[in-house]
Amino acid sequence: MRIVSWNVNGLRACARKGFVDWLGGAGAQIVALQEVRALPNQLPEGIRRLKRWHQAYHPAERLGYSGVGILSRRRPDEIVSSLGEEQFDREGRIQIARFGNLIVANGYFPKGSGTQRDNSRVPYKLGFYQRLFEVLNEMRTTTSRQLVLGDFNTAHCEIDLARPRENRENSGFLPEERQEFQRWIEAGWVDTFRAFHGQGGHYSWWSQRQGARERNVGWRIDYVLASAEAMSFVRRAFVLKDVRGSDHCPVGIDVDPAIIR
């Protein structure tokens, strides 16, 4: 059973670059999308009329901004699109779907950089991390098999970006952001990709300037985190670096289908 996450950087634009063809050959049962940046009725007909896919979207109040979506072969038993705080909910950043005994949280974590290219949004970003952590912890009493996937907008360790030294004062690699990510790890969440791949050079986002992707000067900021109970079902983790259509590439895991039973 394949579960994939992809920040599509605008689903309408990604559709023009072959999203539907990619989806048809991805072999995935659950696909979590971030930065959809469109209302459901604004999506191309080729996406709205996809056969054998259940689609659920949570757009931001601000048009053309943020937004998340889940496409799945199986209809979710339940989807929650709120963290109970308006400051986060209005930006369309979270969907928490239940498939049997599995929780899949699809998150578009905020950037810490503000409109003036400063780090003014870091407190908001950390607040989102902390609130989602709390909500998932509350849900563990009923469903302990949990996955959190999406664009975390943080490179956890130096190995997760090509130029760590040059980015120590930039949002995405600030000490307080990395510390918050580490708090999740210390609480028992597993970075699924790192559980299978210890080497560097694997990234999921590249700047669209100066041929960064061709030179593989990137950041690994897209993750699938698994609770310990869910991790026992994970068989493989991957980064699909050759898939184009966005400045991010898809990431994902293969799991034993028994994870939902």
Q: What is the pLDDT along the chain (261 residues), one digit of tens a residue?
A: 999 999 999 999 999 999 999 999 999 999 999 999 999 999 999 999 999 999 999 999 999 999 999 999 999 999 999 999 999 999 999 999 999 999 999 999 999 998 777 899 999 999 999 999 999 999 999 999 999 999 999 999 999 999 999 999 999 999 999 999 999 999 999 999 999 999 999 999 999 988 999 999 999 999 999 999 999 999 999 999 999 999 999 999 999 999 999
Pinpoint the alpha helices (H) of the chain.
Answer: 11-16, 19-25, 45-48, 86-89, 122-139, 175-186, 192-196, 228-231
Catalytic residue check, 151: yes
Which two tokens mark 199?
A: 């080497």
Which two tokens mark 239?
A: 């980064």
Q: Which of 89, 151, 160, 254 is catalytic?
A: 151
pTM: 0.97
Structural class in CATH, domain 2-260: alpha beta
Judge contact between 212 and 206, C-beta under 8 A.
yes
Indicate the SS3 state at residue 146.
strand
